[in-house]
Chain A
Amino acid sequence: MATLGEKVQDVFNEPGCDVNQTKGTKERKKGCTKQLTPGAAAGGCAFDGAKIALQPITDVAHLVHGPIACEGNGWDNRGAKSSDSQLYRTGFTTDITELDVVYGGEKRLYKSIREILDKYDPPAVFVYQTCVTALIGDDIEAVCKAATAKFGKPIIPINAPGFVGAKNLGNKLAGEALLDHVIGTEEPEFTTPYDINIIGEYNLAGELWQIKPLLDELGIRILACISGDAKYKEVAYSHRAKAAMMVCSKAMINVARKMEERYDIPFFEGSFYGITDTNESLRQIAALLVQKGAPEELLARTEKLIFREETRAWEAINHYRPRLQGKKVLLITGGVKSWSVVSALQEGGMEIVGTSVKKSTVEDKEKIKELMGEDAHMFDDMRPRDMYAMLKESRADIMLSGGRSQFIALKVKMPWLDINQERHHAYAGYVGMVELVKQIEQALYHPVWAQVRKPAPWEVSPQELSLAELSGETTHMTIEAQAA
């Protein structure tokens, strides 16, 4: 078994990643995440990343081995949905005490595993390592091995303590754990030529279910989604899929690539955000399946479905288009979402005045340039202060971002829409795109803006007041004109 250090190096040496391939050996060793600046850093740790990647597996008990902070401060806080078991939303932690820090927490971990199996009887337990227990030298791999032998159930060590790096590294280490301990350990009851894996989709707000009906209609079976709404056994037999789609570009590339290497499952990188991307992804799935032996008629059926869905979606979007035409959007998100949402918004007639590319790869950035032109406003690390200024000066009409930055928009009384982990609306596929456009329209034209922006009557001089009234009228007229 490779040590954690070796694992991290292995993950950094990712042949599937173009950026990595252009680096020298020395540079590669440093890894792909920038060194964090103390006092000016943001974002989750590796443990957080590992948990995000695996917690959507619904019937598994996710046990966090560490002090209360790691689970107690943030459990049940993600929007990954389940069609069945709710066990993944139960918070399990060893909640180690000072004595455990001194004497070691392995015994407590072992007993915890036994308690969970006794009370909840899950098909597997995932044990997450954290900083403190890593530092004191608790060997979770050994404990898991002993527990697996003793209890006869897979107890899987997820060795991604927070201090080894950022969230993204944690995603990858979680993937490694699946490759090492889960994938390939069970067999499906039957297989079909239409079995696929979807890798890096977490079923946030139920987005997988916006796609699944389309695949069902084509007769394509999701053998395993890694990890949205997945069951343990589905991940365990996912190595029997014929093809795979990798959804979140940087998160789980190692899983997709190594599954291709080990089990001959070809994959492509795609997205279900935006109509053209959804079209493309469906085509690619069909093409890969045909390439792997599915009947060729699948291609024609796919085209038919795309045509029907696309027409329907465009009709719905055109309804909103006049009111969205030319609206300026500031898009703060990471990775694959940048470009896939950019194209989606452009389809709605909106203009992207800036997008963050903090977590995006060079490929991602190229795609954005393709979409937005060479002068695309890409920000590597946009400071909250700059977002605030941009919105305050009305250089953008709406901001789309994650929950943490929403108040930057709200405090300048500008519309904001959640497009990250905690969002409540699902935006995938054709229906999702229509929903996104609808939500943007609703946000932009919400009656609350006019009310909260209007100063209190005693705060304006009579002269200003008449001016304000005038400009208010003009805005109103413009809106009407656009609506017409």
Chain B
Amino acid sequence: MATVVTNHKACTVNPLKMSQPIGAALAFMGLNHCMPTLHGSQGCTSFGLVLFVRHFREMIPMQTTAMNEVNTILGGMDNIEQAIMNIWERAKPDVIGLASTGLTETKGDDVDAYIKLIRARHPEIAEMAIIYASTPDYVGAFQDGWSKAVVCIVQELAVPCSVKHMDRINVLPGSHLTPGDIDEIREIIESFGLSAVFIPDISGSLDGHIPEDFTPTTLGGTTLEQLRTMGAARATIGIGNQMYAAAVELEMKTGVPYTMFDRLTGLEANDNFLHYLSKLSGKPVPMKYRRQRSQLQDAMLDAHFYTGGKKIAIGAEPDLLWSLGSFVAEMGCELMAAVTTTHSPMLEKMPIAEVLIGDLEDLETRAKECDLLITHSHGRQMAERLKRPFLRFGLPIFDRLGTAHKLTVGYRGTKELVFEIANTFMADEHEATPESWLNNSEAGNTEAGVAGENFAEEHECASTGGCSSCA
């Protein structure tokens, strides 16, 4: 339905996009006792670390091979070796997740070969898994880095298993799902008597719990044991098109068949998901979810008065854009602007004439007349300038709490999303005045101006909140 275009600017203004290596790092953070490590200059790690700390408000384990000018030219073998051995000595992790950066990719370090040499030299680290993903900064975006890392996890650790566990399924979640989403999906799957292993599982490591002891690596997430038995599962579910490559890879390596769900937000999307689980398990859909389905229907009915005909502008990575964009269209909204970060087969299916691979400046230009703006926290300056209601979705969200628990999947998550969106419109409703229906354009402008001012007032305390940080 949509044409996908790329902007023709030389200069990106107000980036929407983040880079591949930190997407890969986040995927590695979903593995238990893992140390995500970027092969690049120390700044590459530092920027990513700060970003995740501000988003999740959690301790973030992340290391660097600390490349400098000289060893970039000479090759990073020594640095990778030192990094691996130092991490091994200090933290004894089960897994080191290594991702390359623009710097080391430009040089062309053959990291796979380095790792082989290092392993030959250090038999003591034989038990520790080392997963390497090639993720140059100047190609793709965050979501691509995540998806490449998961493909590499599968390539490195998946093996065919002769003994199958009929109640076990693998779930490959996209980077757009929060720890809260993953918990919800797990609960749904478990209610069918199945057990789900998420690869990776950031709900274990980044859900904001208080651990008993200090650990320098990730705490919680998919265990090495679970990763090595991916092949024992009965089926694999991929959530979000970005997981397609990993699902295929897993089937090719282990023979476990996959099913893709492009999103789990929306009534029909969840009907399909639960129907699938019911068929797979041979069990009826539990009463709990029939009830939730009915609640969602009711919520959609209550909300449709407010969402119908509203114009929405979204800036998000492809799979999140697909989830949110499709759903607001299902709620009768008009998607008036869609800006994203990287290519994806989903983009052409978006319910809009044109999807732009661009930045927040592009979104700002296209969102001028919108009723609601949806993007990550960096949209705050734009929302203030445009004086439009603004909902934060995606990563990073650094000026709101509870991002890890934000729920948009399942009937329950969809219901919460419906309410959040409809409430935003209700809060932004303009009172009728004697001038509202006057036919001349001047009066129309006045009305708009007054409404704009009212909104600005409300907006200051209710909508942006962290005004001190925006000011």
- Contacting chain B: which of A93-101, A275-283, A355-363, A365-373? A93-101
A150 part of interface (Cβ distance < 8 Å): no
Given contacts A38-B79, A70-B43, whether A411 and B378 have CB atoms under 8 Å apart is: no
Q: How far does the Cβ of A48 sit from chain B's closest Cβ, in whole Å?
A: 5
Please state if B11 and A63 are interface contacts (CB–CB under 8 Å): yes
The chain B residue with its CB closest to the CB of A387 is B214
What count of chain A residues pass the 8 Å CB interface test?
74
Please state if B59 and A40 are interface contacts (CB–CB under 8 Å): no
Please state if A384 and B214 are interface contacts (CB–CB under 8 Å): yes
Q: How far does the Cβ of B404 sit from chain A's closest Cβ, in whole Å?
A: 13
User: Which single member of B50, B137, B359, B468 contacts A67 (CB below 8 Å)?
Assistant: B137
Most buried by B among A36, A39, A131: A39
B254 part of interface (Cβ distance < 8 Å): no
* Interface membership of chain A positions 39-81, coded 1 if the CB is closer than 8 angstroms to chain B and 0 otherwise: 1111111111000000000000001001111111111110101
B17 part of interface (Cβ distance < 8 Å): yes
* Interface membership of chain B positions 184-214, coded 1 if the CB is closer than 8 angstroms to chain A and 0 otherwise: 0000000000000000000000000011001
Given contacts A41-B42, A76-B378, whether A163 and B10 have CB atoms under 8 Å apart is: no
Please state if A67 and B41 are interface contacts (CB–CB under 8 Å): no
Chain A neighbourhood of B386, CB < 8 A: none
Q: How far does the Cβ of A262 sit from chain B's closest Cβ, in whole Å?
A: 29
- Contacting chain A: which of B98-106, B169-177, B295-303, B317-325? B98-106
B437 part of interface (Cβ distance < 8 Å): no
Complex Cα spacing A79 to B68, Å? 28
Most buried by A among B21, B66, B210: B66
Residues of B64-122 contacting chain A, CB below 8 A: 64-69, 72, 79-80, 82-87, 90, 101-103, 106-107
* Interface membership of chain B positions 1-37, coded 1 if the CB is closer than 8 angstroms to chain A and 0 otherwise: 0000000011111110111011000000000000001
The chain A residue with its CB closest to the CB of B78 is A38
B57 part of interface (Cβ distance < 8 Å): yes
Chain A neighbourhood of B48, CB < 8 A: 73
Please state if A101 and B138 are interface contacts (CB–CB under 8 Å): yes
A165 part of interface (Cβ distance < 8 Å): yes
Please state if B398 and A77 are interface contacts (CB–CB under 8 Å): yes
Complex Cα spacing A413 to B69, Å? 42
Q: How far does the Cβ of B257 sit from chain A's closest Cβ, in whole Å?
A: 35
Residues of A83-135 contacting chain B, CB below 8 A: 86, 89-98, 100-101, 107-109, 111-116, 119, 131-132, 135
B49 part of interface (Cβ distance < 8 Å): yes
Given contacts A40-B90, A424-B469, whether A163 and B41 have CB atoms under 8 Å apart is: yes
The chain B residue with its CB closest to the CB of A82 is B471
Chain A neighbourhood of B54, CB < 8 A: 77, 403, 422
Please state if A96 and B138 are interface contacts (CB–CB under 8 Å): yes
A268 part of interface (Cβ distance < 8 Å): no
Complex Cα spacing A200 to B87, Å? 35
What count of chain B residues pass the 8 Å CB interface test?
69
Given contacts A135-B107, A163-B41, whether A100 and B138 have CB atoms under 8 Å apart is: yes
B436 part of interface (Cβ distance < 8 Å): no
Please state if B21 and A69 are interface contacts (CB–CB under 8 Å): yes
Q: How far does the Cβ of B202 sit from chain A's closest Cβ, in whole Å?
A: 16
B58 part of interface (Cβ distance < 8 Å): yes
Complex Cα spacing A48 to B49, Å? 13
Chain B neighbourhood of A151, CB < 8 A: none
Chain B neighbourhood of A69, CB < 8 A: 18-19, 21-22, 44, 47, 101-102, 137
B46 part of interface (Cβ distance < 8 Å): yes
B381 part of interface (Cβ distance < 8 Å): yes
Complex Cα spacing A329 to B53, Å? 23
Chain A neighbourhood of B468, CB < 8 A: 424
Complex Cα spacing A82 to B178, Å? 34
B216 part of interface (Cβ distance < 8 Å): yes
Please state if A384 and B17 are interface contacts (CB–CB under 8 Å): no
Chain A neighbourhood of B84, CB < 8 A: 39
B139 part of interface (Cβ distance < 8 Å): yes
Chain B neighbourhood of A388, CB < 8 A: 214
B51 part of interface (Cβ distance < 8 Å): yes
Complex Cα spacing A162 to B68, Å? 8
The chain B residue with its CB closest to the CB of A107 is B10
Chain A neighbourhood of B355, CB < 8 A: none
A451 part of interface (Cβ distance < 8 Å): no
Please state if A95 and B101 are interface contacts (CB–CB under 8 Å): no
Please state if A163 and B47 are interface contacts (CB–CB under 8 Å): no
Please state if A71 and B15 are interface contacts (CB–CB under 8 Å): yes
A164 part of interface (Cβ distance < 8 Å): yes
Complex Cα spacing A163 to B43, Å? 8
Please state if B10 and A111 are interface contacts (CB–CB under 8 Å): yes
Chain A neighbourhood of B418, CB < 8 A: none
Most buried by A among B58, B82, B103, B381: B103
Please state if A163 and B12 are interface contacts (CB–CB under 8 Å): no
Q: How far does the Cβ of B133 sit from chain A's closest Cβ, in whole Å?
A: 15
A407 part of interface (Cβ distance < 8 Å): yes
Interface pairs (5), CB distance under 8 Å: A40-B90, A68-B138, A70-B137, A111-B10, A132-B102
Give 3 closest A-B pairs by Cβ, nearest first.
Answer: A45-B43, A112-B11, A39-B83
